[in-house]
Chain A
Amino acid sequence: MTQLTTTDEPTTQVFPARVWWQTFQMEFRKYFSTRTWWMLLLVTFVWTGLNVATMVFAVHFGGAEMRAEPDMFVPIGDALARLLYSMGTTFGFVFPAIVGAMSVAGEYRHQTLTPTFLADPVRWRVLAAKFVSVVPLGALYALVVIAGCLVFGALPLAMLGDATALGSAQTWQMFARMVLAMVLWGLVGVGLGTLVNNQMVAVVSLLAITMFLEPTLRSIPMLIGHDVAILSYLPGALGDGITGETMYSMFTNNTLLSPAPAALGLLAYAVVLTVGGYYLRFRRDVS
């Protein structure tokens, strides 16, 4: 009895660069042939921009009052401007993650895995191409977030006469780390979509974990009065660690990992989710 393998060990044709390039191109074309990408990009710009602008005004007019609170750590000058810009990823990280999740879950939703696997029947190559194709897309979303920070953050700061920190190399280094964080969130999204398959469930669970569960857990150090090391390894904390600062640092004082290990940690989440999803879901029969 012979087994017709659908997804087992690589065959000889897996290796030609040409086939990899074709599959990558197919995945890349998928993003830009529907309207989702630019609609989400627009939402990213407006949503992160408005949040940054709101905080700019809140801190400008209420900063003195906030600083009077014993539990608040509101910096001043360039550090404050950077903290405000970092909100771009605090509010924007979810968008590349949604795009990443949709790149897999959307195929289940519209049953487009059939034509995809007919074009390239080597499934792990298809998944790897999805993983890689999210990288430039995550970077694109990050650039739009940074544009939002400049338009809705730096511009009002300048108009209010506050420091914009745009002359500081530290600020631009942070922008670069924001790009890295957004790209990695896109990869985490691919992993979630591969494991969960339902794009709504994937996005809702991402939001529930990063915006409800994590903030709750990360407020523990404040309550008990000392750091809890393991909390630095939660995905949101890793994302914040990459950017280097975050609004959460105004309220909590749990230590963040430094950017490089934080980036590796978030990448590990993405890889574990994607590989797990591959073995548990992606190799299954397609109907």
Chain B
Amino acid sequence: MKIGLIAFVMIWWATVSVAHQLLVFAFVEDGTVIVETKFSTGKIPVSGDVRVLDAQNAVLMTLELQSDGTVQFPLDPALSAQGLLIEVATGEGHDNYWILTPDDIARATKETQ
């Protein structure tokens, strides 16, 4: 009985861990890049690493995800001229990314002017 329960919990945990996905979204507002994350279940990740890369895949900075599942950083026009790739990895082994192209950034900058 006990073994059966343990097996059930292990199977349930494995199922849960593969069935939800980390969702990443990033946008520019008032000169700030805002990164927001959540799991497809609606749950907010409370920790994780955020890597910001340029168009050549060079890491520009690494930030820690805040407890509300977001992180912000100032937009550097020089570094972001060719766009930004935002990668997020959470402690649960989930990762995903969002691409901000030069057009995305320019459009957002124009909207907030």
The answer to whether A and B come from one shared complex is no
